[in-house]
Amino acid sequence: MVHGGFRVWSGSEPDFPRQAEQVRSLLGAPDNPALLPPQFVAAALTGIGGMLITRSRADALVDAAFALPTRDPSVILAVRHAANRPGATRLTLVARDRPGAPDGTLVDLPTDWKAQESVFATDSIAIGEPGSEHAKQARQLQGQIWQSPPDNLYPTWLYAPVCPASMSLVALHGDRVVGFLLGFQSQPDRDGTTVLESQVMGVDPDYRNRGIAVHLKHQQAIMAGMLGIDAIRWTADPLQAGSALLNFGRLGAFSRRFLPDYLPFRNELNRLPASRLRIEWTVAGEDPRTELSQHRLHLRESVVPGTTCPIANDGPMDLQITPGNPLIAIEIPSDWTALQQSDLATARAWRTNLDDLLLRCLGEGPDQYLITNAVIHRGRVFLLAEQATNNLLRLYS
Ligand SMILES: CC(C)(COP(=O)(O)OP(=O)(O)OC[C@H]1O[C@@H](n2cnc3c(N)ncnc32)[C@H](O)[C@@H]1OP(=O)(O)O)[C@@H](O)C(=O)NCCC(=O)NCCS
């Protein structure tokens, strides 16, 4: 769409990812730390209602803005970058229906801000909104966990409280950032549901399995609730046991949608096509009084994979079990990251076959399933998929 001399790219153009990548390189990628990372631009930006706005003169790019939704659906945050001048990035709020308009006060990127008051999650770990020093550490921690180059890291300005497009939290041990969580405001759904798109969470390997991720997610849910956000969504690799046990087993989130080969990048955790489950979290699964919690508890207490419900795969092999079972268990590797490092051929077989299985099984149609839980049984990790009956859909609506 061309609008007032600007070109607006909303993502419906088939070669949007390539165009966006070209624009990023004209704006200084991979050496401009203020840019949104390529995996976010390619896979998430337009899905949450963001856009790319370019302005050219005589076929040469003059400047470009990545626009992000804000808490006000009629307003977007335009992150304006001047071509070939990586330091010249400024923020402005503009009307969503006039995305190229030059109005709005331009402000410099926030670089120095204080942390907000934190709440203590445990005796030694506090959770709170980061200061600018914490934001730098969170960016470094992202790089360490995923072994990603700087261009793939989220810019620090997204962690600033003045940024109306994002919501961030860090877990602190003293002044050391040992965990972080970053989400984006999404445009509301057609039915008006307001959504936070949770984009990335990481916990320092030295601090794992102490409940830090659960505390970060709960604090995120509290903040989202205070802002009137109805739902939190994110994507997760179906083969990562840790996140499956956290998302489905502990938090009570569910998935009804599978996105094969979703993310364009490769890194230590993603040596093979990065397929993802769409995760939805209404937080009600945590309240023990709700019908949903009762249902979840009963399922967890009664399930014995292979006895009370069939197992849909034999390791990486899809068993193509006959449809019609109310519940199926899908085994996933106990350590997907290690398997990709030690045996890439077996890892590839897992990815290919589980992609087929999940693509076939997940959804709301007849004989399709929602993933609603994850359990460890005799040292093996299973996703639990329940048939998408009207009653189940009501519980998760
Ligand atoms: C996934 C990750 C954020 C979890 O952080 P964490 O602080 O160790 O998680 P918690 O201690 O809060 O774990 C909470 C639950 O998750 C589950 N869990 C998390 N990691 C697990 C693992 N490696 N193995 C088994 N269970 C795991 C457990 O069920 C635990 O519940 P429990 O306390 O009832 O046993 C962390 O392992 C990490 O940073 N991984 C790499 C990055 C990543 O995959 N991020 C998520 C996608 S963006």
Ligand 1: residue whose CA is nearest its atom 44: 243
Domain spans of the chain?
Answer: 2-108, 111-227, 230-397
337-345 average pLDDT score = 95
Tokens 């601090």 correspond to 207
Q: Is the pLDDT of residue 3 over 60?
A: no
Q: How confident is the model at residue 2 (pLDDT cuts 50, 70, 90)?
A: low
Residues lining ligand 1, judged by CB closer than 6 Å? 145, 200-203, 208-214, 236, 240-243, 245-246, 249-250
Q: Are 238 and 358 in contact (CB under 8 A)?
A: yes
Three-state secondary structure call for residue 87: coil
d(CA 58, ligand 1 centre) in Å: 52
Length of the chain: 397
Residue 325: beta bridge partners?
none
What per-residue confidence (pLDDT) applies to 104? Answer: 66
DSSP 309-332: B-BSEETTEE--PPS--SEEEEEE
Ligand 1: residue whose CA is nearest its atom 1: 243
d(CA 204, ligand 1 centre) in Å: 11
- Percentage of the chain modeled with pLDDT above 90: 72
CATH number of 111-227: 3.40.630.30
d(CA 307, ligand 1 centre) in Å: 27
Give residue-wise pLDDT tens across range 232-286. 999 999 999 999 999 999 999 999 999 999 877 777 778 888 999 999 998 655 6
- Percentage of the chain modeled with pLDDT above 70: 96
343-355 average pLDDT score = 96
Give residue-wise pLDDT tens across range 304-337. 999 999 999 999 999 998 889 999 999 999 999 9
Q: How confident is the model at residue 83 (pLDDT cuts 50, 70, 90)?
A: confident
Q: How confident is the model at residue 59 (pLDDT cuts 50, 70, 90)?
A: confident
Burial of 75 (0-12, 13-18, 19+ CB in 10 A): middle
What per-residue confidence (pLDDT) applies to 290? Answer: 86
What per-residue confidence (pLDDT) applies to 283? Answer: 63
Q: How confident is the model at residue 69 (pLDDT cuts 50, 70, 90)?
A: very high
The contacts of residue 257 (CB under 8 Å, 6+ apart) are 277, 278, 362, 363
Alpha carbon distance 247, 234 (integer Å)? 10
d(CA 48, ligand 1 centre) in Å: 26
15-30 average pLDDT score = 89
Name the token pair of 380.
Answer: 């093996």
